[in-house]
Amino acid sequence: MGTGTPPVARESIDASGCLVTPGLVNVHHHLYQNLTRAYGPMTDSALFGWLRTLYPLWSVLNEESAHVSAWVGLAELAMAGCTTSSDHLYLHPRDGGDLLSAEIAAARDIGMRFHPTYGSMSLSEKDGGLPPDNVVQDHDEILAASERAVKQHHDRTHGAMVRVALAPCSPFSVTKQLMVDSATLAEQLDVRLHTHFAENDEDDSYSLEKFGCRPTQYLQEVGWLHDRVWLAHCVKPNDDEVRRLGMAGVGVAHCPSSNLILSSGIAPVVKLRAAGVHVGLGVDGSSSADSASLWLEARQAMLLAKLVSGAAVGTARMALEMATRGGAGCLGRLGEIGELSVGCVGDVVVWSLDGPQYAGVVTDPIEGWLRCGPATAKHTIVNGVSVVRHHQLVSNKVDAMLSNHARLARHMQSAAQ
């Protein structure tokens, strides 16, 4: 967007009677997990038990399944108005191939703005971690692969369609030295850092027992308490930690549905925002949140804020801001994505407000958009190009991809038998 004479339009869209918003920004996901969506044996588990159940299934992930699951997952996000998505790919099975490149190829094919992260795990079950040996990597391998991924795919230009971050899975799945060295490498490469953080009470207990300190102090010790970092969940910070996170300029991905399904708790997003934290929204993996709709996450965030902080605080505008500018802040792209203003890219969503579910919405279309629904995007436009048009994906590959996805999901879920 800018000033001056507008260019000749490739396409004209009639948005009469519609709500037009910036493209929504998803700042935490695990795209491959839609291959084990609503998997029966784990639907009643909390986080650590849930992970132990699913790691053996995910160990068969390869380039094909990473590509197809990413394609389907990004398509699902686009249908609900998402134009930029991150992904936390921390699982790298031996002989699985180049999974990150497979995901990036899917994003390019769909036309989604993509922030994949080279995630990592270095502590297997034998080292006191949760994952099996065949999905973890050693320290030097992780750092080398992280650097390769950035040099191969990261685009620093304004309006970039792909940017890469480094993302050790969590403090309980990598060594302290890997956290330190990842922070050093990210600074050298000028990229961002991401990890799971303070997701539930078990996280807190682990940090106190293993490191002798609260999670935020651990971040300080490993060089992660600064504005290059955004954290997933942040459900359990105390008031002092909230203050420290805000002073450091850290971002937080609020994942309300996942935190509810796994009984992790409710992140104190109102306190975090007041402290200066960039709070964005994440759909999280489709094995924990199952649905990947940022509209749904925005609605959940609004309702939970009302429950925790009062009806007047949890507004649709607050939730929309988290889903747009808050996410841009997490990804270091304020003034570029997440808003409709001069200098920003052409990521726009048109929402239809007709039909029985919106009947009676007259005075406040933003509140109506989020209170009513469920909503899917009428048009999703990324970088000036339609990805969703009249509630349908523009791509002609949908049926083939869904068929491939069903085959791969059956194969992955049979790994437990």
Query: Stretch 351-376: mean pLDDT, rounded?
Result: 94
* 401 domain residue, yes or no: no
Number of structural domains the chain divides into: 1
* 216 domain residue, yes or no: yes
252 strand-pairing partners = 231, 279
Closest C-alpha among 284, 385, 369, 349 to residue 81: 349
CATH number at residue 54: 3.20.20.140
Per the rule left: phi > 0, alpha: psi between -120 and 50, beta: everything else, 40 is alpha
Q: Is the pLDDT of residue 3 over 80?
A: no
Q: What angle do CA 158, 163, 167 make, to 5 degrees?
A: 145
Range of the domain at 182: 24-339
* 346 domain residue, yes or no: no
Provide the whole-model pTM. Answer: 0.96
Q: Is the pLDDT of residue 48 over 90?
A: no
Q: Is the pLDDT of residue 46 over 90?
A: no
| Residue 397: per-residue pLDDT | 98
Q: Is the pLDDT of residue 1 over 70?
A: no
* 13 domain residue, yes or no: no
pLDDT digits (tens, 9 = 90+) for 150-207: 999 999 999 999 999 999 999 989 999 999 999 999 999 999 999 999 998 888 898 9
- Hey, which bits of 287-396 come out as E strands? 348-352, 379-382, 385-389, 392-393
Question: What number of CA atoms fall less than 13 Å from residue 22's CA on the CB side?
Answer: 27
Query: Stretch 84-96: mean pLDDT, rounded?
Result: 96
34 DSSP assignment: G
* 15 domain residue, yes or no: no
User: pLDDT tier at 62 (50, 70, 90 boundaries)?
Assistant: very high
| Residue 202: per-residue pLDDT | 86
* 389 domain residue, yes or no: no
State how far the Cα of 394 lies from the Cα of 110, in Å rounded to an integer.
9
* 8 domain residue, yes or no: no
With H, G, I as helix, E, B as strand and everything else as coil, classify residue 238: coil
pLDDT digits (tens, 9 = 90+) for 101-146: 999 999 999 999 999 999 999 999 888 888 889 999 999 999 999 9
State how far the Cα of 333 lies from the Cα of 322, in Å rounded to an integer.
14
With H, G, I as helix, E, B as strand and everything else as coil, classify residue 222: coil
Structure tokens at 383: 């970088």
pLDDT digits (tens, 9 = 90+) for 229-249: 999 999 999 999 999 999 999
| Residue 417: per-residue pLDDT | 60
| Tokens 């230009």 sit on residue | 157
What order of strands is seen across the sheet that includes strand 379-382? 18-22, 348-352, 379-382, 385-389, 392-393
Task: Answer for the pair 369, 352: CB distance below 8 angstroms, yes or no.
Answer: no
Long-range contacts of range 390-394, CB-CB < 8 Å, 24 or more positions apart? 391/79, 391/352, 393/75, 393/78, 393/79, 394/111
State how far the Cα of 259 lies from the Cα of 165, in Å rounded to an integer.
23
Structure tokens at 265: 């708790």
| Residue 216: per-residue pLDDT | 97
Structure tokens at 248: 């450091």
Q: Is the pLDDT of residue 228 over 90?
A: yes
Read off the amino acid at residue 393: L
162 DSSP assignment: B
State how far the Cα of 12 lies from the Cα of 416, in Å rounded to an integer.
50
Alpha helix locations (H) across 59-169? 63-79, 99-110, 139-153
* 381 domain residue, yes or no: no
